[in-house]
Amino acid sequence: MPRVRESSGGAPAEDGVLRILHVSRSAETLRAFLIPTMEAERALGHEVLVCAQESPQAERLREAGFEVFTHRMPRNLNPFPALGAILAIRRVLTTRHIDMIVCHTSLGALVGRIAAWSAGTPRVVYFVHGLACGPAQSPLSWRIRYGVERLLARVTDAIVVMNDYDERLALRAPLARTAAGVVRIAAMGVDLKLHASELPPAARARVANELGLGRGVKLVLCTARLIPEKGVAEFVEAACRIAARRDDVVFALAGTGPLEGRLIRRVQRAGLESRIRVLGWRDDVADLVKLADIFVLPSYFMEGLPVSVLEAMACAKPVVSTHHKGCEDAVVDGETGLLVPVQRIEPLVDAVTRLLDDEMMRARMGRAGRARATAQYELGVCTQRIVDVLESVLHSRRESPGRPAAR
């Protein structure tokens, strides 16, 4: 007869069966980036569950074999839906006797850690995809968000970060129970084999024909959620200025979000619909990246380490991005790409133009980007590092589990 132990909810669970709950505001984050980690956890014999908003991506997680619970967490801090999300997550934690909660996204980490505190969950991890208190915010917003992180540090056993800015900030207070709980990883990783393969001729012809890429016409690509902080408005504005004075380039923006209509109207007003393509949601982003000559992400979002940039580097594409946390950790300025100030149109125009005019620079930076991705961001190596961190927390010992430590 198997031995039993006390699990987080106080009910008996079979010895050796550890339950991990990944919580995110959006199922898209988990579906896009965390499946390799969650599959590796299952391979170790753990039961891995998910709690996120209901969506097509949540259904895709179910199809991948994960048990998915849902909440109705908003994109804002409206207290009533947030309280409902906390109660929904708490119910999963207590009824399924969860041993460790791993919280993703800033809002997911906020409500998830409050739910874990109230449920007495033994282990709490904040997997940071970019701290909400970032350098592009107003001082007041920054202080409020940082204050919230300091309060939640009391119930956070480990905080996993991916860039210099977040690491320095996480160590300052620290933003975990102890400084030892602040862990830096390289990235979530990219599939180097997938992004090294050539685009098949049929796919190349299909995309080139759709985008109007005639002979000698170069493609400048941005893939991002269409929100202001991703710099998509700056991308379109820079594209309008460049496309108005040269006819050897097509710009493409792939993604969805609240700015989509506004960006389409801006292109229409410029009369450049055939040269600047706002594509919406795409299932063939990898094909677009492989076909592109230059990849651009002018972000001032609360980045961790932007996977889109890593994928472009893995495809040997030069990158134009910003002097902003996460972006400047991925891109080596002057070596794998060019970095420009955030929210500045002219420097962005100049950087893209330099690369359009210099084929040798594009090739050199593309090769350097591929080498950097190979050396630092290979998916299997990054996944193993993440799993090692989570296993260390899962098997650690802690006094007064689930409740704030006295300070």
Interval 238-258: pLDDT, tens: 999 999 999 999 999 999 999
The reply to whether 405 falls in a domain is: no
Is the pLDDT higher at 109 or at 11? 109
Residue 102: Cβ within 10 Å count = 29
Mean pLDDT of 112-140: 94
pLDDT score of 385 more than 60? yes
Tell whether 10 and 96 lie within a shared domain: yes
Q: Note if the pTM is more than 0.85.
A: yes
| Mean pLDDT of the region 278-298 | 95
Mean predicted confidence (pLDDT) in 96-125: 96
Q: Is residue 244 part of a domain?
A: yes
Angle between helices 106-119 and 139-152 in degrees, nearest 10:
30
pLDDT in tens, 48-106: 999 999 889 999 999 999 999 999 887 766 777 889 999 999 999 999 999 999 999 99
Asked whether residue 12 carries a pLDDT value surpassing 80, the answer given is no
Q: Say if 126 falls within a structural domain.
A: yes
Q: State both tokens at 163.
A: 């860039």
Residue 404 maps to a domain: no
| Residue 399 in domain | no
Residues 166 and 262 in one domain: no
Average pLDDT of span 171-181:
95
Say yes or no to pLDDT of 397 above 90. Answer: no
The total number of structural domains in the chain stands at 2
Three-state DSSP class for residue 67? strand
Instruction: Look at residue 39 and tell me whether its pLDDT is greater than 60.
Output: yes
Are residues 348 and 214 part of one domain? Answer: yes
pLDDT band at 398 (very low <50, low <70, confident <90, very high): low
Q: Bridge partners of 139?
A: none
Is 19 in the same domain as 154? yes
Does 282 reside within a domain? yes
Structure tokens at 301: 């979002």
Question: Could you tell me if 272 and 326 lie in one domain?
Answer: yes
Structure tokens at 303: 């980045």
SS3 101: strand
- Asked whether residue 360 falls in the same domain as residue 211, the answer is yes
C-alpha to C-alpha distance for 189 and 333, rounded to whole angstroms: 20
Mode of pairing for the β-strands spanning 319-322 and 294-297: parallel
Do residues 232 and 355 both lie within one domain? yes
Range name among 50-64, 136-150, 392-406 with the lowest pLDDT average: 392-406
Q: Are residues 207 and 238 in the same domain?
A: yes
pLDDT of 5 reads 36
Same domain? 110 vs 220: no
CATH number at residue 79: 3.40.50.2000
Q: Are residues 33 and 132 in the same domain?
A: yes
Backbone angles phi, psi at 338, to 5 degrees: -125, 135
The SS3 of residue 316 is coil
Q: What pLDDT is stored for residue 3 in this prediction?
A: 31
**Does residue 400 lie within any of the structural domains?**
no
In this model, does residue 294 exceed pLDDT 60? Answer: yes
Owning domain of residue 169: 4-188+380-394
88 and 214 part of one domain: no
**What pLDDT is recorded for position 73?**
80
Question: Quick one: 126 and 87 in the same domain?
Answer: yes
Query: If pLDDT is split at 50, 70 and 90, which confidence band does 386 have?
Result: very high
